[in-house]
Amino acid sequence: MTDLYVYDTTLRDGSQREGISFSVNDKLQIAQLLDELGVDYIEGGWPGSNPKDMEFFARAREELSLSHSKIVAFGSTRHAHSDVENDVNVRALLEAGTPAVTVVGKSWDFHVFHALDTTLEENLAMITDTVAYLKGKGLEVLFDAEHFFDGYNENRDHAMATLEAAARGGADTIILCDTNGGTMPLEMRAVIQQVKEHINVPLGIHSHNDADMAVANSIIALQSGATHVQGTINGYGERCGNADLCAIIANIHLKMKIDKFSPEQMKKLTAVSKLISELANVRPLVSQPYVGRNAFTHKGGIHVDAVVKQSRTYEHASPEAVGNKRRILVSELAGKSNILFKMQDKFSQFGELLQTKDVLKQIKKMEYEGYQFEGADGSFELIIWKTMDTYKPLFKLEGFRVIVDKQRRGDDLYVEATIKVKVGDRVMHTAAEGDGPVNAMDNALRKALEGFYPKLKGIRLVDYKVRVLEGRDGTAARVRVLIITQNGDKRWGTVGVSENIIEASWIALVDSIEYGLLYESSPSLDELKKALDALPWDYEHLEQPLA
C-alpha cells in the first residue's frame, strides 16, 4: 500500500460521547498532539452548528502551527430542493477556512425517505451539487457515505449511485461509513471488494463499534483496498464509540508493517491517549489494547516467570514501541523487599542523587490514595525534587480560609480567600477575591509571593478539572483535581487528592506554583532531568502501600 491516510474525528464524533465536552482550548491542544503523532486529517467540528466550533476554526488558523496535519471542517450536503450557493450548511463549510472539507450524504434509501423526506433522485443531486460546488472553490473534498453498508444491503443500486454521484462531483476520497456499527468483518471485505470494481475514487472506512468490530472492520477494510481510515483517539464516540485510532495506528505500524509512522511518533501513542483522556475528563480504560495501563501487565505465577525470561512468551508486541511500559503486579504473597531490590537495581546509577526507596514509597502511597501522575508531570517531578539535597521549600503554608457568600451581592456569589504563608523568616497574610474558590486562592497566594518571586507573574493557570474517584460515596467522595499551568511555551500539570475539593485544589495549586518557580530558578535542573529520564512510569504496583 503506497498511500495510506489516517483521519481523526475525536473533536467532532468523539465529543458526541456522553460526558465529553471539549473546550476550544482543549480542542487546540488535542489538534497539536495529533499533528505531532502524524495524523493526516483532523476533523475540527461542524461549523455553523455551534459557536464553539466556529471559534475553533478561527483560532486554529491563527494559533496552530501544524507540521503535518490538515484541519478539516465537517458538514452535510445542501438541503433538498435548495440552491447550493445559498445553502447555510455549505456556506458554513466555506467560512471555516480549512483546506479540506468532509461532506456527509445519505446512502441508505430508508434515511432518504424518512430523515430527508425527499426522493432518491433529489438525494443524488444534493450529493453531486455539494461536492462539485466545494471542489470549484479549490477545496479537497471527502465524501462520507453515511449508513453505506445498511444501504448496500437493502438497496444496493441506490447506495452505489450515491458513490457515483460523489465521484461525478469530483470527490477526492469516498468514505464508506458503518454508521450503525453492525457490519461483520468478512461482510465488510466482500462489500469493499465489490465497490472497488465500480468506483475508481480512493476509498476510506469509517466504523462505529456497536458490535465491537470497529477496529477489526477498519483493518480488514485497509487490507481489502481502502487507503483512508477514520476513527477517534481511545474510541470515543456516541453509543458504543468509534474505531479506536490508538489500536488502528499501532496495527498499521506493527502488524501490517506499513512504514507510515516513525518510531518516535509511535512512542508518543500512549502519552497522547492518556493526555486526551485527561482533557476529556474520562477515566482511561485500563484494558485498552496497546496503550492501556494493563496492556502489558502481568501478575504472578507462570506468566511473570516466563516474561522475565523472554517477553515474547506473553506479549504480542513491545510495550516500548507504543510508549507504554511493562508492569509486574505483586500480590500480598510476594515479598516487598523483592520489589525494592528490583527498583533499586534500576536506580543504581543515581543512588547518590536520589533517595530511591523514599521516592518509591511515596509514589506508591499516593497512588493508593487516588493520585495519578499521567498528565501531572509537575507533581511527579516535585516528588523527585523533594528527595534531593538541593531542595529547599519556597514557602510554607500557615493557614488559609475561603469564604463563599451568597447574600452580600445579590444573585452573584462573593468569594474571598485569606492566606497566611511563611517565606524565609517573614509571614505574609493576604486576602483576595476571585470568580470561585480556586481563583480566589490563586490570587491570594500570588499576592503573598510575587514580591519575593517576580517570575510568578509569568505563570498562569490555563485549565482545571475535577474527577470523583468513588461515586458511590456521594458528596463525601474523594476527588482528584488536575490543574494545568503555563509559562510561555512551557506547560505542566499538577494534581491534588482529598475528600474536600478545596483542599485537593490547594494541593494542586501549590504544586503548580512551586514547580513553575523551581523550574525557572533551580541550578540543578539538568541534573534533575537526567534523573527523571531514568525513572520508570511503570513503578511497581503493590495491592497495599508500603508500610
Class of domain 5-261: alpha beta
* pLDDT score for 521: 57
* pLDDT score for 489: 76
* pLDDT score for 164: 98
* pLDDT score for 539: 34
**How distant, in Å, are the alpha carbons of 374, 388, 517, 533 from that of 537?**
9, 19, 24, 10
Q: What is the distance between the alpha carbons of residues 220 and 248, in angstroms, rounded to a whole number?
A: 11
* pLDDT score for 349: 39
pLDDT tens-digit map of 128-145: 999 999 999 999 999 999
Q: What is the distance between the alpha carbons of residues 500 and 526, in angstroms, rounded to a whole number?
A: 36
Please give the residue that has the higher pLDDT: either 386 or 10: 10
* pLDDT score for 286: 87
* pLDDT score for 291: 97
Confidence band, pLDDT 50/70/90 cuts, at residue 409: low
* pLDDT score for 314: 83
Report the range of poorest mean pLDDT among 193-197, 289-293, 370-374, 486-490: 370-374
pTM value surpassing 0.85: no
The pLDDT of residue 191 is above 90 = yes
* pLDDT score for 34: 98
Q: What is the distance between the alpha carbons of residues 173 and 205, in angstroms, rounded to a whole number?
A: 10
Confidence band, pLDDT 50/70/90 cuts, at residue 204: very high
pLDDT tens-digit map of 251-275: 999 999 999 999 999 999 999 999 9
Q: What is the distance between the alpha carbons of residues 32 and 22, in angstroms, rounded to a whole number?
A: 14
* pLDDT score for 547: 28
Question: What share of the chain in percent tops pLDDT 70?
Answer: 84
Average of per-residue pLDDT across 2-13? 93
The pLDDT of residue 338 is above 90 = no
Helix (H) or strand (E) holding 6: strand 5-8
Please give the residue that has the higher pLDDT: either 100 or 538: 100
pLDDT tens-digit map of 215-257: 999 999 999 999 999 999 999 999 999 999 999 999 999 999 9
Average of per-residue pLDDT across 69-87? 96
Please give the residue that has the higher pLDDT: either 329 or 103: 103
Mean pLDDT of the chain: 85
Q: What is the distance between the alpha carbons of residues 545 and 108, in angstroms, rounded to a whole number?
A: 57
DSSP state of 115: I
Average of per-residue pLDDT across 285-292? 94
Confidence band, pLDDT 50/70/90 cuts, at residue 311: confident
Please give the residue that has the higher pLDDT: either 130 or 474: 130
Q: Where are the alpha helices (DSSP H) in 156-297?
A: 156-169, 185-196, 214-223, 245-250, 263-266, 269-280
Burial bucket for residue 18 (CB in 10 Å: 0-12, 13-18, 19+): exposed
Q: What is the distance between the alpha carbons of residues 327 and 305, in angstroms, rounded to a whole number?
A: 13
* pLDDT score for 358: 67
Average of per-residue pLDDT across 101-126? 96
* pLDDT score for 491: 86
